[in-house]
Amino acid sequence: MKILVTGGAGFIGSNFVHYMLNEHPEDEIVNLDLLTYAGDLESLEDVENLPNYRFVRGDIADRAFIFELFERERFDVVINFAAESHVDRSITGPAIFVQTNVLGTTTLLDACNKYGIKRYHQVSTDEVYGDLPLDRPDLFFTENTPIHTSSPYSSSKASADLFVMAYHRTYGLPVTISRCSNNYGPYQFPEKLIPLMIAKALNDEKLPVYGEGLNVRDWLEVRDHCMAIDLIVRNGRVGEVYNVGGHNERTNMQVVKTILNALGKPESLIAHVEDRKGHDRRYAIDPKKLETELGWKPKYVFETGIQDTIRWYLDNRTWWEHILSGEYLKGR
């Protein structure tokens, strides 16, 4: 199969490219990425010369470019990871989220419609379901939970999901959607909670924690997410949504303290800062559909997964230090 992976220079996309090249060396991967501030080709240095992998720089919202690419390449499968992904940035500047996440997605869908594909897969988020109360641990997001977004980020992702489903219903496009919880693992940009806290702790800087740090996230190891997407694309039913989550709920404070303990740093480094506007309280996924229909079983549990992740950031200091210093932007 010839697979277009968009956003493959980002956190989850680069892990997915690695996963696919390992698991399915018979497939051909074309990685299309605009290389915004969040894209880093250093994450893919070890695969860049493989004969079945290619990088193309471009914007998923650039219609002429996308149509020309599809005309030339004739993809079998399109998997869309490309997005503006940081909630805090969406609060200070929502417009680019509409441009990339909504317009970019519909541009890809139009190209799929025109040139024909076997499957279009949209990588979405559990944030489209809004949040759950902290005092109801019995509640989980299912695929039938109503869309009820909080931030400009989640609103743009929910809009994209609605367009994906509309293209299936209206034009018969063979689509699937996955909605996952918070990912952690290698190659995550150090503006997100776990790598940010690791980098700050290693530099003996204050660790900024929103409010009391009691917001709960359901942590998913990125490689378990990659496995889920691969299963959905190959065996998932067209027109269906699949939730992906690992039943690994932790408060932000628990995560931060785990990192400090692992690095032998004092909890006095924690600094409580003003809460994020509209901050979602709790996310928790019910992944039953993915488990029963497609046999997905996560390989990682948070206790050991987080320790492996911390070790990865210790062993790959140059990777994230290049980002923090801006070195990774040189030559763009």
Cα–Cα dist 144/25, whole Å:
36
> Two tokens at 267?
């909890």
Residues of the chain by 3-state class (helix, strand, coil), percent to 5: 45, 20, 35
The residue among 14 and 258 lying less far from ligand NAD, judged by its C-beta, is 14
Strand partners, 33: 57
Contact 313, 184 (CB under 8 A): no
- In the bound complex, what is the minimum distance in angstroms from residue 29's beta carbon to ligand NAD? 15
> Going by C-beta distance under 8 Å and a sequence separation of 6 or more, which residues neighbour residue 306?
184, 194, 219, 255, 258, 259, 262
- In the bound complex, what is the minimum distance in angstroms from residue 38's beta carbon to ligand NAD? 4
Place of tokens 């493989």: 50
- In the bound complex, what is the minimum distance in angstroms from residue 192's beta carbon to ligand NAD? 7
One-letter amino acid of 291:
E
The residue among 81 and 296 lying less far from ligand NAD, judged by its C-beta, is 81
Query: Cα angle vertex 271, ends 266, 272, to 5°?
Result: 135
The residue among 94 and 265 lying less far from ligand NAD, judged by its C-beta, is 94
The binding site for ligand NAD (CB under 6 A) comprises: 6-7, 9-13, 33-36, 38-39, 59-61, 81-85, 100, 104, 123, 125, 157, 180, 182-183, 189
Fill in the DSSP letter of residue 228: H
- In the bound complex, what is the minimum distance in angstroms from residue 208's beta carbon to ligand NAD? 19
By annotation, the residues acting in catalysis are 126-127, 153
The residue among 68 and 267 lying less far from ligand NAD, judged by its C-beta, is 68
Cα–Cα dist 40/190, whole Å:
12
Helix (H) or strand (E) holding 312: helix 302-315
The residue among 104 and 260 lying less far from ligand NAD, judged by its C-beta, is 104
